[in-house]
Structure 1
Amino acid sequence: MTSPDLTRANIDKVAELFPSVVTETLDAVGNPTRAIDFDALRQELSNHVVEGPVERYQLDWPGKREAEYAASAPIAKTLRPDMDASVEFESTKNLFIEGDNLEALKLLQESYLGKVKLIYIDPPYNTGRDFIYDDDFSSTRDEYLKRSGQADSEGSRLVALAETDGRYHSDWLSMMYPRLRLAKNLLTDDGVLFISIDDNEVDNLRKLATEVFGARNFVAQIIWQKVYAPKNSAQWFSEDHDYILIYARNKPAWTPNPLPRTAEQEARYKNPDGDPRGPWKAENMTARNPYSAGLYSITTPSGRVIDGPPRGTYWRISKSRFRELDADNRIWWGADGDNAPAVKRFISEVSAGRTPQTLWPYSEVGHTQDAKKTLLKYVPFRHTENVLNSVKPVELIQRILTLATNPTDEHIVLDFFSGSGTTAHAVLAQNALDGGNRRFIAVQVHEPLSAPEPDFDSILGMSLKRIENVGAELSGQINPPDVGYRLLRVDTTSMADVAMTPDKYEQGALAGLTSSTKADRTGDDLLFQVLLDWGLPLDVKLSEERWGDHTVHVVDEGALIACFDTIVDGNLVRAIAERTPLRAVFRDSAFASDADRINAEQVFRELSPATELKAL
């Protein structure tokens, strides 16, 4: 009925570390439940507990406790597929999810726990003009919308955050905190998070991310030159850069890939002496660090004696090593043999790439005007007010993909503030460039445009149109990448709420409670409910088959077989059991009687005892 209860998961982790602190208590309705004895835990931790008014180093703000609760509270939601709006639904590995990204992250917890290699997000910058999510789980959605005055036909949860608001920074931190907590769970052990941000919240965001990921997992703070010309209208300084914060899930396990050498770097390697080992460049043989074996005289081929390295420096290699290199023609003395010695460094023997730096100029990764032009190229806007001004260049995200993913490892890239779809675009473009098989998960809340376009009326619709056109362009290649996507929408659970206390039941209502699923849900809806419940990836290969009069869903070539017809018979049950799937699913109400349900279980025990059988 709900997404995972992360508080219970945390209790399990504490119990694994300190079994003696686990106890039982009664919940709100009087049922026994497992709990943690904090007095016992305090005793286990002895003098390492800080509580009360004792000063400590911490990040705090009004609303932090509510934000912590928002990260752990389960939700009764699911993901419903939109087959018509998807592209190559049955085979694609890419996902678009429309809905609140906090809810989407909760729903992804089991299916993608520890499976995402890279997360890139471009959250609201909190400039006084941005919109943030107003999360409230202490009341129902309708109550929240009514109380906050946000109720509208679209059920929007976006609110403006003005600089005059007394909770200007606090509300932004409360919005980001639970999302970062949930995002961390999805990263692989060698996964990494990149976050774009500007000066308004970079200090707070770095402290917040440090609290979630730990100070030891901070990797770098990139400066991206986002504009190619200064803004003469600036009151004080032209803001020419943004930041990208990088945090690893486990820093010792993650190392950025080297970047390709630039044409300028390649040009430094020459071969003036025709060395058969190929191009090389001369490297200075002196260094300032003291080296006892680095003080000796050298005689050049021309006969000139060099008494030693320049004053205050040392030869970087010992005399014996120098003789070895000279004998191997790895010392360059100049064209006339009279220069001070330099070591020849052959391009064939050095790393194929360059170490990434923390300064990214627009000449390498693009600027905001490039990004806007790219968006206009792939999205046919009729109303100029719909053109986003805060989009990122595709080249910028491709730089991140180069550093954090490998072409052939089927790495998953997640962007839960996906906006116009730049990250999805970059994944397709990079796969087309290097033959990679990366896949993306893009999450975007339903945000209507101020003036609906002929082909789309929301930010998500804009990104779908963009990826559709990018895909059409790339499909013309000899080996095109996967340019399809499955569109899923966050919605209420597909399971009917039939659990009530005895005094709430009425005789006339019992007939409507025989089915545990909602009447408006299709077989595809129920299939994705099952995928989420079982923690299966949402990009698994799907096919729909007709077995006689029945529609059967086959997942991952038989790993799961499901039939959600309203009536099933023994022949169908036996046919599915004979396929020996790992899992099989039916509607509970599809069995004519309890005896039929029991018979189905017996059939699977006989023909496929390893199958996990479930009835919704």
Structure 2
Amino acid sequence: MIKNIIQSNETVTPNAQTLKVLHTHFPQCFDKEGKFDIDKFKDLIKNDIDITHEGYDLNFLGKNYAKLLASIDTTTVVQPDLEHNVKPENANSQNLYISGDNLDGLKHLLKSYTGAVKCIYIDPPYNTGSDGFVYNDNFNFTSQELIDKLSISEEQAQKIFDLTTKGRASHSAWLTFMYPRLLLARDLLTPDGVIFISIDDNEQANLKLICDSVFGEESFVANIPWRKRTAKSDVPFGVSQDYESIICYAKQDFTAALEGGTRKYFETDDLPDRPWRIHDLTKQTNANERPNSNFTIVNPKNGDKFPANPNAVWRVTSETIKDFEKENRIVFPGDYDFLKISKPVLRYFKEDDEKKAGGMFGFTPVSTNLPKEVGMSQDGTKDIGELFNSKVFNFPKPVSLLKYLIKAATNFDKSAIIVDFFSGSASSAQAVLEVNAEDKEGGNRTFIAIQLPEVLDSKNASQKTAYEFLQSINRPTTLDFIGIERIKRAAAKIKSETKADIDYGFKHYTLVEPSEDTIDKLEEFKETEMFTNNDTLSLFGKETVLETWLVKDGYGFGAKVEDVKLADYTAYLCGKHLYFIEAGINENDMVALLDRYQQEPSFSPENIVVFGYSFNFSQTEMLRKNLFVLRDSHKNLKANFDIRY
């Protein structure tokens, strides 16, 4: 588990993530040793792209270091809040609140939510000198390791080492902090996903450049000015800083880009004067995350059945599919001879696209003149004041502003995932709940919020109120618990006022970095021991190990797990993975496992995952050897055997 990741991280290079993407899409450009051949790549694209030696790029001290941080895996584990998560309002909730460093949080999310997030909103530190931003990461690289990994001089390594370990608030420090987070966030977005980033003039120009570098200049949508106050501020030269910026980028659909950015519409006799196009009806989300979208679509014309793919369920729910069919928005295989499709697809009419023209995704936000109803800073203060009866957080963004942005991005996707990895007081989570409650068509958007559990200082005037509030309700005095409490209070208020039938709950997880003592124990463990009395599992807990693995294996946070009772041992099943975590397995359990494989048609997990510290050498070998029996059974199942340390 952690040991494997540490060993893997030792060989990671700054461009590892980029090379992984290239290998996925352009395997022909890699040699037999797995090395990227740039000449083959140039030859592949030279007919379509004018390659020159001139170019424009953003460079800053720490850029390669930032790429390295994005490439190495996180060694944090996912610790579920068991008491909170089992409560009735939370047990089946799809909303997530994650306490932890957002760099770690994004890496965990990418293992299950790559390409699944429709909208990201973040309000990062502005690096103004008064917002408390000081970059001081927790990576323990030595200067020599930086020299080796980044191929830089000792002097350059020392500059980066000083930048990232002594706490800096320079432009380079801020860019080094933001760059890896934006790189990871990009890969979360759907092909038509959008990101909004609030910023002020101090780093606005740098943010624009870094976003051009990460998302591509062609993905830039707008730099939207937001008026935050009417009272004039006292600043040099008499220019009052009344506005902030909201920088917006939208990922481009790759297919549309290859076709020159134009959409292909069909004109058919059954729909005169209503040109239409098609769009994929599946969503890269598994059945555990979206159980209401895991159903079989039946063609009402001929009864043909199309079951959902459990790893990419339908975009619609079993309830909303009926409305889509009534509106003639579902196209089935065989409906049109010219369409070569094997499963149902969505139909979008040109008239719908024209309504969206000039704006984002459903109505027309005006980049130069946001409507007054989006509110100002004073409205954000009022929002949180109504819930807490005190000022527990400084300068929260108004919920009305975030609702406006969320509606713009998700107007045609009522089940969209919205991520905020600088959650702060959780204004965005409240905004998602309010948008869903107000949606007459039944909004089931979900939020994922990540917030660093920053320890509040009772002696700091700006944090004292929040500190005292959390003490008064007997909660940990860290900033993430202000967000947790806000969501609870906002949900109760919205439910009382609207009576809307929406998801009001959320599951809570904490990202925990193992201590040095724990790491030492992992390193000391000998995999070939014939007997073991190892207590490693107690250092993490069964629930934490299982949750971390479920996220790693693509099932998402809070995935449903089935207990698999063998003779005297219990394993845990999710999808195609069967997990063996606790100690105590014996030969009778192995026999029972093989019997289930051979006698139960529906029981066929393809991956056997073992928590190596709980098993001695003879037990792991027993599992490994007996699984080969399945290859000769009537199922002819080749189960993968994965021991994790």
Q: TM-score range by the shorter chain?
A: 0.5 to 0.7
Residue 363 (structure 1) shift: 2.2
Report if the CA contact (8 A) 1:368-1:390 is conserved.
Answer: yes
Query: Following the alignment from structure 1 to structure 2, what is the Cα–Cα distance between the partners of residues 363 and 479?
Result: 26
Report if the CA contact (8 A) 2:215-2:251 is conserved.
Answer: yes
**In the superposition, relative to structure 1, how do residues 597 and 560 fare at CA in structure 2: closer, same or farther (>3 Å)?**
closer
SS of the counterpart of 1:216? Answer: helix
Does residue 523 (structure 1) correspond to residue 524 (structure 2)? The answer is: no
Q: Pick from 432, 438, 462: which aligns with 2:445?
A: 438
> Which amino acid is 2:481 matched to?
G
Does residue 192 (structure 1) correspond to residue 209 (structure 2)? The answer is: no
Report if the CA contact (8 A) 2:136-2:167 is conserved.
Answer: no
Q: How does 1:505-524 map to 2 (within 5 A)?
A: 518-524=537-543
Q: Pick from 493, 498, 508: which aligns with 1:487?
A: 508
Structure 1: any 5+ residue segments left out of the alignment? Answer: 25-33, 151-156, 163-167, 255-349
Query: Following the alignment from structure 1 to structure 2, what is the Cα–Cα distance between the partners of residues 505 and 413?
Result: 41
Residue 523 (structure 1) shift: 2.0
SS of the counterpart of 2:197? Answer: strand
Query: Following the alignment from structure 1 to structure 2, what is the Cα–Cα distance between the partners of residues 445 and 531?
Result: 22
Larger deviation: 537-546 or 201-210? 537-546
Report if the CA contact (8 A) 2:119-2:195 is conserved.
Answer: yes
> Which amino acid is 2:603 matched to?
T
Q: Pick from 18, 21, 25: which aligns with 1:10?
A: 18
Residue 351 (structure 1) shift: 5.5
Query: Following the alignment from structure 1 to structure 2, what is the Cα–Cα distance between the partners of residues 158 and 572?
Result: 53
Query: Following the alignment from structure 1 to structure 2, what is the Cα–Cα distance between the partners of residues 158 and 394?
Result: 36
Query: Following the alignment from structure 2 to structure 1, what is the Cα–Cα distance between the partners of residues 166 and 526?
Result: 41
> Which residue of structure 1 aligns with residue 482 of structure 2?
462
> Which amino acid is 2:454 matched to?
E
Report if the CA contact (8 A) 1:544-1:554 is conserved.
Answer: yes
> Which residue of structure 2 aligns with residue 102 of structure 1?
103
Q: Pick from 567, 571, 580: which aligns with 2:603?
A: 580
> Which amino acid is 1:491 matched to?
V
Query: Following the alignment from structure 2 to structure 1, what is the Cα–Cα distance between the partners of residues 535 and 68?
Result: 29
Query: Following the alignment from structure 1 to structure 2, what is the Cα–Cα distance between the partners of residues 140 and 83?
Result: 38
> Which amino acid is 2:554 matched to?
G
**In the superposition, relative to structure 1, how do residues 393 and 19 fare at CA in structure 2: closer, same or farther (>3 Å)?**
same
SS of the counterpart of 2:453? Answer: coil
> Which residue of structure 1 aligns with residue 404 of structure 2?
399
Q: How does 1:72-221 map to 2 (within 5 A)?
A: 72-86=71-85, 88-130=89-131, 131-135=133-137, 137=139, 139=141, 168-221=170-223
Residues 293-345 of structure 1 show CA distances to partners (whole Å, capped at 9, x for unaligned) of: xxxxxxxxxxxxxxxxxxxxxxxxxxxxxxxxxxxxxxxxxxxxxxxxxxxxx
Does residue 368 (structure 1) correspond to residue 385 (structure 2)? The answer is: no
Residue 536 (structure 1) shift: 2.1
Residues 503-522 of structure 1 show CA distances to partners (whole Å, capped at 9, x for unaligned) of: x8999x95897769543222
Residue 473 (structure 1) shift: 2.6
Q: Pick from 581, 584, 591: which aligns with 1:564?
A: 581
Report if the CA contact (8 A) 1:23-1:37 is conserved.
Answer: no
Residue 428 (structure 1) shift: 1.0
Query: Following the alignment from structure 2 to structure 1, what is the Cα–Cα distance between the partners of residues 638 and 414?
Result: 31
Query: Following the alignment from structure 2 to structure 1, what is the Cα–Cα distance between the partners of residues 210 and 484?
Result: 32
SS of the counterpart of 1:22? Answer: coil
Query: Following the alignment from structure 2 to structure 1, what is the Cα–Cα distance between the partners of residues 165 and 394?
Result: 19
More helix by share: 2
Report if the CA contact (8 A) 1:379-1:462 is conserved.
Answer: no
**In the superposition, relative to structure 1, how do residues 395 and 135 fare at CA in structure 2: closer, same or farther (>3 Å)?**
same
**In the superposition, relative to structure 1, how do residues 99 and 159 fare at CA in structure 2: closer, same or farther (>3 Å)?**
farther
Query: Following the alignment from structure 2 to structure 1, what is the Cα–Cα distance between the partners of residues 98 and 118?
Result: 18
Query: Following the alignment from structure 1 to structure 2, what is the Cα–Cα distance between the partners of residues 433 and 97?
Result: 26
> Which residue of structure 2 aligns with residue 223 of structure 1?
225
Report if the CA contact (8 A) 1:496-1:517 is conserved.
Answer: no
Query: Following the alignment from structure 1 to structure 2, what is the Cα–Cα distance between the partners of residues 486 and 607?
Result: 41
SS of the counterpart of 2:540? Answer: coil
**In the superposition, relative to structure 1, how do residues 9 and 65 fare at CA in structure 2: closer, same or farther (>3 Å)?**
closer
Larger deviation: 449-458 or 213-222? 449-458
**In the superposition, relative to structure 1, how do residues 426 and 362 fare at CA in structure 2: closer, same or farther (>3 Å)?**
same
Report if the CA contact (8 A) 1:217-1:247 is conserved.
Answer: yes
> Which amino acid is 1:449 matched to?
L
Larger deviation: 468-477 or 10-19? 10-19
Q: How does 1:294-443 map to 2 (within 5 A)?
A: 354-361=363-370, 363-379=372-388, 381=390, 387-406=392-411, 409-434=414-439, 435-443=442-450
Query: Following the alignment from structure 1 to structure 2, what is the Cα–Cα distance between the partners of residues 116 and 613?
Result: 32
> Which amino acid is 1:76 matched to?
T
Residue 534 (structure 1) shift: 1.4
Residue 573 (structure 1) shift: 2.5
Residues 546-588 of structure 1 show CA distances to partners (whole Å, capped at 9, x for unaligned) of: 8886555454xx6655453322324652576435154554545
> Which residue of structure 2 aligns with residue 258 of structure 1?
none
Q: Pick from 238, 248, 263: which aligns with 1:246?
A: 248
> Which residue of structure 1 aligns with residue 299 of structure 2?
none
> Which amino acid is 2:208 matched to?
R
Query: Following the alignment from structure 1 to structure 2, what is the Cα–Cα distance between the partners of residues 105 and 134?
Result: 18
Residue 470 (structure 1) shift: 1.6
Query: Following the alignment from structure 2 to structure 1, what is the Cα–Cα distance between the partners of residues 571 and 642?
Result: 15
Residues 24-73 of structure 1 show CA distances to partners (whole Å, capped at 9, x for unaligned) of: 4xxxxxxxxx33356877898999464xxxx7532222222212222222
SS of the counterpart of 2:196? Answer: strand
Residues 184-218 of structure 1 show CA distances to partners (whole Å, capped at 9, x for unaligned) of: 01111111111011111111111110111111110
Residues 208-248 of structure 1 show CA distances to partners (whole Å, capped at 9, x for unaligned) of: 10111111110111111212x22254551222211111101
Does residue 450 (structure 1) correspond to residue 457 (structure 2)? The answer is: yes
Residues 363-393 of structure 1 show CA distances to partners (whole Å, capped at 9, x for unaligned) of: 2211111111111222365xx5xx3222101
TM-score using structure 2 length: 0.65
Q: How many residue pairs are counted as aligned between the two chains?
A: 484
Larger deviation: 105-114 or 396-405? 105-114
Report if the CA contact (8 A) 2:547-2:558 is conserved.
Answer: no
**In the superposition, relative to structure 1, how do residues 396 and 22 fare at CA in structure 2: closer, same or farther (>3 Å)?**
same
Query: Following the alignment from structure 1 to structure 2, what is the Cα–Cα distance between the partners of residues 516 and 41?
Result: 50
Query: Following the alignment from structure 1 to structure 2, what is the Cα–Cα distance between the partners of residues 96 and 575?
Result: 40
Query: Following the alignment from structure 1 to structure 2, what is the Cα–Cα distance between the partners of residues 423 and 158?
Result: 31
**In the superposition, relative to structure 1, how do residues 136 and 562 fare at CA in structure 2: closer, same or farther (>3 Å)?**
closer
Query: Following the alignment from structure 1 to structure 2, what is the Cα–Cα distance between the partners of residues 560 and 91?
Result: 21
**In the superposition, relative to structure 1, how do residues 575 and 398 fare at CA in structure 2: closer, same or farther (>3 Å)?**
farther
Residue 19 (structure 1) shift: 3.3
> Which amino acid is 2:584 matched to?
I
Larger deviation: 97-106 or 472-481? 472-481
Residue 179 (structure 1) shift: 0.8
Q: Calculate the aligned-residue CA RMSD, in Å.
A: 4.2
SS of the counterpart of 1:519? Answer: helix
**In the superposition, relative to structure 1, how do residues 544 and 408 fare at CA in structure 2: closer, same or farther (>3 Å)?**
farther
Report if the CA contact (8 A) 1:379-1:465 is conserved.
Answer: no
Residue 431 (structure 1) shift: 1.0
Residue 524 (structure 1) shift: 1.3
Query: Following the alignment from structure 1 to structure 2, what is the Cα–Cα distance between the partners of residues 478 and 468?
Result: 15
**In the superposition, relative to structure 1, how do residues 473 and 603 fare at CA in structure 2: closer, same or farther (>3 Å)?**
farther
Residue 76 (structure 1) shift: 2.5
Structure 2: any 5+ residue segments left out of the alignment? Answer: 147-157, 257-353, 357-361, 459-466
Report if the CA contact (8 A) 1:412-1:439 is conserved.
Answer: yes
SS of the counterpart of 1:127? Answer: coil
**In the superposition, relative to structure 1, how do residues 499 and 546 fare at CA in structure 2: closer, same or farther (>3 Å)?**
closer
> Which residue of structure 2 aligns with residue 344 of structure 1?
none
